[in-house]
Each structure stands twice: as C-alpha cells, then as structure tokens.
Amino acid sequence: MLICFSLKWICKVNSITLWEEERYTDGSKWRFLEHKGPVFAPPYEPLPDKVRFYYDGKPMKLSAPAEEVATFFAKMLDHEYTTKDIFRKNFYKDWRKEMTSEEKSKITDLNKCNFSDMNEYFKAQSEARKQMSKEEKLKIKEENERLLQEYGFCIMDNHKERIGNFRIEPPGLFRGRGDHPKMGMLKRRIRPEDIIINCSKDSKHPKPPPGTKWKEVRHDNKVTWLASWTENIQGSIKYIMLNPSSRIKGEKDWQKYETARRLKKCVDRIRAQYRDDWKSKEMRIRQRAVALYFIDKLALRAGNEKEEGETADTVGCCSLRVEHIKLYPKLDDQEYVVEFDFLGKDSIRYYNKIPVEKRVFKNLQLFLENKQPEDDLFDRLNTSILNKHLQELMDGLTAKVFRTYNASITLQQQLKELSCSDDSIPAKVLSYNRANRAVAILCNHQRAPPKTFEKSMQNLQTKIDEKQNQLSAARKQLKAAKADHKASHDDKSKKAVEVKRKAVQRIEEQLMKLQVQATDREENKQIALGTSKLNYLDPRISVAWCKKWAVPIEKIYNKTQREKFAWAIDMAEKDYEF
C-alpha cells in the first residue's frame, strides 16, 4: 500500500496523556517487544477413585492419559454431537492412541463404554463451583487478576499493552462448526516445546516453565504476534496477539475504514465498470463482473477455495456452485429473480431471493449451461483473480472492502433516516439499534435464538396483556367519569375526567413502549448485532451520531468497545462523514 498513515495516538501512561507519532515505513511493526510468555493449561488431575468408568457394564480403571481423553468425552455427554457418527468415530480413533496396549485390547467398542458416572461427577463439580462461598469466589477472582497482571500485558515500543489471549488453549475434543469431517478429534495438549516465542533481542526474554524449553525464540519485528504454535487438527498456526485496544490493532482498524472511505470515492466508477463488463466478449470477465456485483450488492464474502474433506462444506461468492442458486424468470410479481441458498462461513445459511438486472440474469443462465449441480458457478474465477482485478481498480481494494464499505454507508444512511430530534434517548438508541440491525441483515449475521427467547417473549406478552387490561379499565373509568360529569356538570367531576384522561394517556404510552420493545426483540431473534458493530461499522459514524444527538457514548458502546474504539472517540466530531 502506498499510503502512509500517521495516526496521532493517545496513550495513557500512568494517567498522563501522551501524544505520540511514530510510524515505520519499512514494514516493521515494532522496535521493542517484551512479554512473559503464555500461561499453560493446568495439568490433568486424575479422577478420584470413586468416580468410575464402566466397560461392558464392569468398572475399569483407566491409565491417566486414556482417562484424561475419556473425561473430554464424558463432559460433553449432554451434547447432541456425542451421538453423531463422525464425532464418535474420530474420538474413538484418537482415544485409542492414548490407551495402553492392555486397554486397547480390552476396549474394542465405544458403544460399550459408559461415561455417565464421570459425567455426573463433572456436573456436580460445576454445581459446587456455583455454590461456592463469596470468599472462595473472591479468592479465585484475585488469582485470575494476579495472572492477568503478570501475563496479560506486554511492552511494545513505549507502551504497556493488553494481550488478547495469553492463555494457551487447553486440550479437548475438536468440535468445529457445521458438518465438520474432523469433529471429535483430540486437540492435544500444548507444551512449552511447541511454542515459538517472538520478542525483541534486547528485551527480557520470557522464561519457560522449570525443566522445559521453548521450541524457539525469535525476534521478528515484521509480525505482531508474541507467541505461536501449530495446532494438530488442521495443522494451522495459532497466535498470541494483542488486544483490540492496542495501538497496533487500532491503527490497523482505522486503516481499514480509510480504505473503505476511499472506495466510497470511486465506487460509482467501479460499478459502471462492472456493469459494462456484463457485456464483455470474454467469459472470464463476465463472470468476474457478475461475482463483483453480488459482492457489492449482497455483501457476500469473497469465497476462497477450501481443501475438500478437511473442513465443512461452505462457500462464498467465488466458490458458489450451480446447486446454490435457482433462477426464476418470473416469481410472483417480480422479474429475473435469483434465489440463493448456501452455507457460508461457520455453516450459517444464506437464503435470499432477489430480483437482478436482466443482463445479470442472462449471464447467470449462460454460466449454468451444461453444468452439473456440483460444478462451480464461476468456473473461470477465483478470489485471487478477482482481487488482482480490484487492486487495479483502486489501491488496496479487495473483496472484503465492499462489505466494510456497504456496512458503514448503510449505517450512516439509516441513522440519517431514522433519527429524530424530538425522540427521547431510549427512542434514539432504538433507532440506532434498528440501523445496526439493517447492517447485520445485510451481512447475514445470525445467531441461534437465545434459549430463553420464547419465555422472555411470553413474559413480555403477559406484561402487554396486563397493560391492555389496565387500559380498558382506565377507559371505562374515563367513560364513567364523563357520564358523571354530563350528569352533574360540576367542577369536581370535570377534574375527575381530566385525571382519568391523563391516566389513559399514560397507560397508552406505556403500552406503546412495551409493544415497541416486543417488536424490537422479535426482530432481533435471529440477528446478531455484535459482529457488525465490532468489525464493519466505522466507529466514527457512531461517535459522531452520539455527539450530534446528545446520546452518551456509553449507550452505544460498552467499556471494552470504548477501549477498542478509543481512536475514533478521540477523533470524530459531530459532523464526521464516512
């Protein structure tokens, strides 16, 4: 990227606010980096003898390694996935690797294994944890705090920064999401010998636990991570990195939104270009143009290729297959409708029916010709081709910038449309949430309906019913008061009418509020707002909106979010335009 950002960064060091400007132009991320290394998962504690594992109805004492892996399964017994074939198969295979040869020959069928005693034990344990006294709980809290203070921070250049994840992931059974072919496999324990430490040469290097060694200590200031290890399920690398509140993350975030704002300036040109490309003589260009249209209009993800059989079968735009779309020349009263139905990231279903322009429709028909359902829709396109093209259209442009751009611009537009100066603060916050929701829907950010959803909806409905009863009672009283007044025509009865009228009005308002709340909650049933708020919406839009409408920023961002967006809170004035 050609643009060199120089962000004035506010740092609070010993409660003194410093302004600092330092940017590296050679691609290095820091000069000085010092930390204490990661915190390892606690060692395995064998079960008390009274907690039994049964094989084929008979109690059996397991060796510690086999027992540990068995407890991972036992803890999950209530989960549906322990009943799934693939999960059981993968677990059993990996479990056997931990058994002694004696155990291996004895245990030959997972179906004959009974973990329920172990399961009960863990349930009792977690129950006991809940029942702990205040003092015990406080002690744990203090210990956690101590760990955080010791391992949770590092020094990067001149600042003490919070580390995002300083604890190493404990061993367990890999779950994965959706139909993952590796679900149930054993995620092995990470030892110091697996860890690569990254820090600066002139720093105090972290010490490995007594009697152990790090895999390697390196001093690579072209990267931001403090420690890494290779995970055994996919063979990918995991990292320990800084918290979103850190300078290095904040700056990157800011940069991301600046790129999206540059897209705003040239999006018209790019749109005109891809519309033109729909007519191209070359198939690859038409495919590229239609894919880009989807990415822009529907905020689809790029859709990298994935290794088959290694992960769940999910797709994004470039990896869409014929089976994922249906074309309707006419549907109800709309023309040229495309129906999308596929599993995206995290196996979240994307389902949408949208009318498209005739040219797009005709192109899609062309792309589908002579193909099987499992064939690629865009067989002449992949993310690297697409991104190369985008790079030529604008410096730093990639497919995901469209998601950021469209999310942020939508928020800004919606806020403009929905905000009303006469509204109370709660009403304004509601408008904000609605705007946020519009974005979440665009980005297809879904959640499983909360477990207590039905119940809490019912509670709310009960309240509404009660309010309604109150209202009709109040109306009756008003009517009676009116009749009374008509009969007597005195001052006292006149006042009574007024009182009753006010009461009706107040109850009507309360009812309205409840109904709005119910609508809001219902609309939010399957929508997750957090992801867009955290990753797609330029925080300066929200900060400016708060300033403009005199809404306290705390109503929009909680403490963590305010820390993450400190740069924006400091930067944006009420007239900020994305």
Partner DNA sequence: CGTAGGACTTGGTCTGATGGGA
Partner DNA sequence: TCCCATCAGACCAAGTCCTACG
Residues 51-110 that bind DNA (CB under 7 A): none
**Residue 119, interface with DNA (CB under 7 A)?**
no
* 300 contacts 315 by C-beta, under 8 angstroms: no
Binding to DNA by residue 383, rule CB under 7 A?
A: yes
Contact 305, 319 (CB under 8 A): yes
Choice from 187, 189, 321, 485 touching DNA (CB under 7 A): 187
Position 446 contacts DNA (CB under 7 A): yes
Residue 548 near DNA by CB under 7 A: no
Q: How far is the CB of 222 from DNA (least distance, A)?
A: 7
82 contacts 88 by C-beta, under 8 angstroms: yes
Stretch that binds DNA, among 82-90, 177-185, 422-430, 483-491 (CB under 7 A): 177-185
SS3 of 289, please?
Answer: helix
Q: Does 252 bind DNA (CB under 7 A)?
A: yes
Residues in binding contact with DNA, number by CB under 7 A: 84
576 counts as catalytic? no
Dihedral angle computed from the Cα positions of residues 138, 139, 144 and 147, in that order, rounded to the nearest 10 degrees? 140
Using CB under 7 A as the binding rule, the residues of this chain from 449 to 508 that contact DNA are 450, 452, 455-456, 459
List Cβ<8 Å contacts ≥24 apart for 1-4.
Answer: 1/395, 1/396, 2/395, 3/258, 3/395, 3/396
Identity of the residue, 131 or 421, whose beta carbon is nearer to DNA in the bound complex = 131
330-359 binders of DNA (CB under 7 A): 344-348
Least Å from the CB of residue 41 to DNA: 8
Question: What mask, x for binding DNA by CB under 7 A, covers residues 290 to 309?
Answer: -----------xxxx-xx--
Site for DNA in 216-245 (CB under 7 A): 220, 223-225, 228, 230-231, 233-237, 239, 241
Q: Which of 96, 104, 167, 494 binds DNA (CB under 7 A)?
A: 167
Distance CA 519, CA 511 (A): 12
State which residue, 85 or 575, has the beta carbon closest to DNA: 85
> Under the criterion CB under 7 A, does residue 391 sit at the interface with DNA?
yes
Q: Return the range that interacts with DNA (CB under 7 A); candidates 83-91, 282-290, 413-421, 526-534.
A: 526-534
User: Crossing angle of helices 247-277/399-418, nearest 10°?
Assistant: 100
**Quick one: which of 10, 88, 155, 172 contacts DNA (CB under 7 A)?**
172
Does residue 324 belong to the site contacting DNA (CB under 7 A)?
no
- Alpha carbon separation from 141 to 130, 144, 147, 401 (Å, rounded): 14, 5, 10, 41
Q: What is the DSSP letter of 124?
A: H
Least CB distance to DNA at residue 202 (A): 20
Active-site residue, from 293, 536, 557, 576: 536
Residue from 23, 123, 141, 476 touching DNA (CB under 7 A): that is 141
CA 125 – CA 119 distance, rounded (Å): 10
Taking alpha carbons only, the member of 250, 39, 26 closest to residue 156 is 250
Question: Which residue in the block uniquely carries the two structure tokens 């309707």?
Answer: 328
What one-character-per-residue DSSP string does 361-399 give?
HHHHHHHHTT--TTSBSSTT--HHHHHHHHHHHSTT--H
Residues forming the active site: 536
